[in-house]
Structure formats: C-alpha cells, structure tokens
Amino acid sequence: MSAGTSSREESTDDTGPPPSPAATYEAAPGRASRRQRATLASYGFLGPNLVLLGVFLFLPLAWAFLISFQESSGFGASGWVGLDNYRRLVTDPTFWRSALNTATFTLLTVPLSLALGLGLAVLMNSVLPGRRLFRTLIYLPMVISGVATALMGVLLFDEATGIINKLLRGGGLAGIPWQSQGSAAFASIILVTLWIRVGFNMVIYLAGLQGISPELYEAARLEGASSWQQFRYLTVPLVGPSTFFLLIMDVIYSFQVFDTIFVMTGGGPGRSTSVLVTYAYENGFVTRDQSYAAAIGIVIFLLTLSFTAIQWRGNRSRDTVG
C-alpha cells in the first residue's frame, strides 16, 4: 500500500498550480514531462494491485512450472527431473480417470445449468405473483458457503439416513446407493452443483432478457408466432451474449469444482468422483507429492487457457460474421 500512498502525495504536489492558459506556450518537453508525471501517477494507482498480483499470482505461477520439473522429496522438492512428472501423468490411470470425470462433469453441468437458468429467467421475467420472493429463493444457494452446502448434501443424500432415500422408501421405492455406487454419487454431486449454480445463470439471463425490446415480441405475436416459436427464434438468439458469457463462467466453474466433491465424496467411491482438482490437492497436501501435484496443476492451467482461447476466437469470428 505504501507505493500508492507515496505517489499519491507526489502527484498532488506536481499538479498543484492550476494549468493557466500560459501553459500552452510551453514547448513539447513540458507536455512530455506532464505525460511522464501522469504515467507515474497511474502506476501509483496501479501499484498496490500490481504488487499483490505479481507476488502472489505471477510468481507462484512461474514457480509452479519450475516445481513441476523437479522431484518431490519429503516436504520440499529438489533435483531436476525434466519431464518425468508429466511422463508419469500419461501412464497414471487415476489421472486419466480424474480427467474423464472432470470432462463428464463439465459436459453435464454446463448445459443443464444454462437450460435451467434460461428457463427460470423466462419464468421469473413474466408476470407472476410473488416474483420477487421466488427470485430470492433461487438466488439464495449461490451465496452459501460451498462447505456448508456440501455437508447439507451429505445429509440429504446419505444412503441409510438421508431424507431423500427415506422419502423414496416411504413411497415404496428402493433407496438409491448414493455413496456405494459411482454413478449415483456422481449424480448427487451434479444435483448439488445445479442447486448452487442455477441462480447465477438466472441472474445473467434476466439481465439479458431485460435488454430485449418488447416490440419484437409484439411483432412476433402479430405474425402468429407461438410461445415456443417466440422463445426459440427470439429469446434464445437474443440472449446469445449472455449465453456466451455464462458458457465461459460455467465451464471454468465446473472445471475447477472442489468444495462440493472434496467434502461430499472425497472423490469416492473408489475414484468414481475424483476430478483433476481434487486429485491435485490429494497429491499436494495428503500424499505430499508436491511436484506431481504441480504438474497436474500445470495441465489444468493449460486446459483452461486453451479453452478460453478457443472461446475467444469463436466469439470473435461470430462477431465479425454477425
């Protein structure tokens, strides 16, 4: 913070005298130094943030690359081993299982939360008694801590004592093996994720819907378009920018899901809900194989980066076409 304070004082002194019309007589050097002063002031404003980002984000990022080329020895890392950690990844079945789970989780949660978010936004944008209350109820889960939510999930989905299985049995059905069967455990995590995530999608879509002119719908109705046609050919294309934004945010969110899985299943049963992030954590802080964890982290980073780059290019070409 000191960098910001010092240059703040500095720039007040420098710009102290009001610039009189006479200043325009000054030659180019004067203007250049004013620009330099402005640059200095700007860096003063940026200082606190840049220092924090530099020390606690960029430095660890570079460091993570270095660690991933070293071997883990007990607590720390030592000795260069080149690509050994990455070679190990390629032949590690748990890594591939976690990568596959991450992909499946993302491919299921993203379209579902987009569809539910848009559906609810359309519903909550229409005339509806108690609309404010309903909106609040849908928003609420997204402000609740992931650990509390996951523990709530543990209780709801408990095979023996959870309320969901009690309700199923009460209805004469068999309970679902949420903990002992991989696909059921996976489903429970997806359900909890949707519960958390749908509110955010709805907020963004509601904002998108409110930017659409009502005359368009008026015109569509005069042309005899049904509600579904209005939704399909007006609403869906017109909320495109919101969808694009949400696609990025949701993919990144699903890709990096940690709290829910770590607390609810711990990656189990077996490895059936293990994802890249929980596997990286496990290596880094449970088995203390930190170099291997760093290598997994770098893979996550590269995947995130390439996804964003593809999205970016896709959006740009769409913009130029449209």
Partner 1 sequence: MAHPLPHSGDGASTRTAGLSTGPGSFAPRVKRVPPAQRVSAIARLVTAVVVGLVMMFPLYWMVTLAFSPNADVFSRELRIWPSSWTLDNFRTVFGSFPTATWFGNSVVITAIVTVLTVTGNLLAGYAFAKLDFRGKGAIFLLVLSTMMIPVQVLMVAQFRLVTELGIYGTFWAVIFPSAASAFGIFLARQFIIAIPDELIEAAKVDGAGTVRIFLQIVLPLCKPLIAVLVLLTVMYQWNDFAWPLIALKDSRLFTLPIGLLYLRGQYGADYGAIMALALVSITPIIIMFLAFQKYFVQGLARSGIR
251 to 270, contacts with partner 1 by CB under 8 A?
252, 255-256, 258-259, 262-263
Name residue 214's beta-bridge partners: none
Is 207 a binding residue for partner 1 by CB under 8 A? The answer is: yes
Q: Chain-centre distance of CA 319, in angstroms?
A: 23
CB-wise, 118 or 184, nearer to partner 1? 118
The least distance separating partner 1 from the CB of residue 16, rounded to whole angstroms, comes to: 7
The least distance separating partner 1 from the CB of residue 59, rounded to whole angstroms, comes to: 7
Of 224-243, which residues contact partner 1 (CB under 8 A)? 227, 230-231, 234-235, 241-242
Name residue 80's beta-bridge partners: 70
Residue 272 and residue 274: Cα distance in Å, rounded?
Answer: 6
Is 148 a binding residue for partner 1 by CB under 8 A? The answer is: yes
Question: Which contacts of 57-66 are long-range, i.e. CB under 8 A and separated by 24 or more positions?
Answer: 61/301, 64/294, 64/297, 64/298, 64/301, 65/294, 65/298
Of 175-204, which residues contact partner 1 (CB under 8 A)? 195, 200, 203-204
Q: Which residues of 190-218 are buried (b: 16+ CB within 10 A; e: fewer)?
A: bbbbbbbbbbbbbbbbbebbeeeeeeeee
Q: Which residue has the tokens 């880094």?
A: 284
Find the binder of partner 1 among 23, 58, 96, 107 (CB under 8 A): 58
Interface size with partner 1, residues (CB under 8 A): 121
Residue 121 and residue 208: Cα distance in Å, rounded?
Answer: 9
CB-wise, 215 or 320, nearer to partner 1? 215
Is 103 a binding residue for partner 1 by CB under 8 A? The answer is: no
CB-wise, 62 or 107, nearer to partner 1? 62
Q: In sequence order, what are the residues at sequence separation of 6 or more whose Cβ sits closer than 8 angstroms to the Cβ of residue 73?
A: 79
The least distance separating partner 1 from the CB of residue 90, rounded to whole angstroms, comes to: 19
Is 310 a binding residue for partner 1 by CB under 8 A? The answer is: no
Report H helices in the chain. Answer: 2-14, 28-53, 59-68, 84-90, 93-125, 131-139, 146-157, 163-170, 182-210, 214-222, 227-230, 236-238, 240-255, 259-264, 276-281, 290-321
Is 56 a binding residue for partner 1 by CB under 8 A? The answer is: yes
Amino acid in position 30: G
Of 155-174, which residues contact partner 1 (CB under 8 A)? 155-156, 161, 163, 166-167, 169-170
CB-wise, 260 or 271, nearer to partner 1? 260
The least distance separating partner 1 from the CB of residue 75, rounded to whole angstroms, comes to: 9
The least distance separating partner 1 from the CB of residue 117, rounded to whole angstroms, comes to: 11
DSSP assignment of 22-58 equals GGGGS-HHHHHHHHHHHHHHHHHHHHHHHHHHIIIII
User: Among the candidate windows 33-41, 102-110, 172-180, 181-189, which touches partner 1 by CB under 8 A?
Assistant: 33-41
Is 38 a binding residue for partner 1 by CB under 8 A? The answer is: yes
Residue 302's SS3 state is helix
**Residue 108-137 contact track with partner 1, rule CB under 8 A, x = bound:** ------------x-xxxxxxxxxx-xx-xx
User: Among the candidate windows 87-95, 101-109, 177-185, 299-307, which touches partner 1 by CB under 8 A?
Assistant: 299-307
